[in-house]
Amino acid sequence: MSKLATGFRLVFAALGLAFLALFMMAPAAAATGPGTYTVTFNYTYRYLNPETEEVRNQSRGRCSVAIDHEKVLIQPSSTEAQLDVVNVTWATSPFHPDEWIVGGESLGSNYMIQRICLDDHPTRQASDIFANLGRVLYVPADHPIYRRLRGNDRLFMDCINAVPYGIKDVSLQVGEMNFDGQKVLAEVTAFTPSYYKAAGKKHGSYEIKKFGGPDPTRKLWVVAILGYTNWQGVLLPTKFSYTEYNSWNLRTEAENLAPLNIVEGELESVAPGADADITPRLAASLAVSDYRVADQCGFDTCVGYTCGPGEWPEVGSEKYKALASEHKSQMLAECPWLAQPLDVFLRWHLGAWQIGGAVLMSLALLTGACFLFKRFF
């Protein structure tokens, strides 16, 4: 029996060693999830005249998306352009948690980034089309940069023609398809709400109006993913397109899906490993536009100052609170209408429309009833 038991022990030990060897030979991505990798995609960009669809400007380039376990660095680089363009770098801040840096560099420039936007929300800044596409298409949905976001907020892309609509105003329609037995993103369409802001009679004021025509909203942009590949268990888009439509303020009376910006992109390469640190790209002295104060101020704003990389105050610190409080007081003194946030104003304004409409309808019915009573009785 002892020899039999010893034999069983040897067999189980051999099996254990075999499983251990197989486990160690498996790809790292299988054991640790997506891991770290760098995606590069190339793109063709066209800026059109919405009335004639004639190309006003076009460029070609590539975009690098470096992804590690905590940080992301997205760096577009135009290789050919009719006009000078700005390549906007989007990165997770290496200095404080839940902080993001957006910086710009002109085409062909080898200079360090000297101007940055700083924010504590990963999708609030209108970085640029290519950095936005790199984030939405290639950063995994479960990456830590999205831990504070809800639902499909990670798919939000700000664009110049969407001003003044933010992440709370824009609605996203998401389509999915099956690839390798999994549901993956197929299309994302962004819509405005049913209203827009028109300039009021008083300086700095505005009026809320509803869009005309049969469509209650206006389509802002559409991203369509045309194919996928499986790289070490990570599903990556191989081909995609982005269409941004003409500014909503030129479509207030009726919807018109004339394209303004078109991007067509393809996956160029994907490689293990990622250098996702923006620090080497930052100049010793930075002109900072700090949008983190917007949440504390209660309205969309930023404060400007100059400092070295990472020398800005951390959110929640006494220095930061003093900076935000001073900026808020200054802004309200110059622009008192900012004291009433847009969402509060809309709730009151649109609610007043509904109440007013109900009152008028009741008066009309009462008048009609009185008329019929006098005529027939």
User: What's the token pair of residue 285?
Assistant: 């002295």
Cα end-to-end span (Å), the chain? 112
pTM exceeds cut of 0.85 = no
Residue with tokens 């080898």: 110
Q: Say if residue 25's pLDDT is above 50.
A: no
- What residues contact 10, with CB distance under 8 A and at least 6 apart? none
User: What's the token pair of residue 229?
Assistant: 């590949």
Do residues 113 and 284 touch, judged by C-beta distance below 8 A? Answer: no
Q: What is the pLDDT of residues 197-256, one digit of tens each?
A: 887 666 656 788 999 999 999 999 999 999 999 999 999 999 999 999 999 989 999 999
Q: Fill in the DSSP letter of residue 200.
A: -
Q: What angle do CA 299, 99, 310 make, to 5 degrees?
A: 110
Q: What is the pLDDT of residues 99-118, one digit of tens each?
A: 999 997 655 445 689 899 99
- pLDDT at position 183 is 94
Do residues 341 and 318 touch, judged by C-beta distance below 8 A? Answer: no
Burial code (b: 16+ CB inside 10 Å, e: under 16) for 231-258 equals beebebbeebbbbbbbbbeebeeebeee
Do residues 309 and 288 touch, judged by C-beta distance below 8 A? Answer: no
| Rounded Cα gap, residues 350 and 356, in angstroms | 10
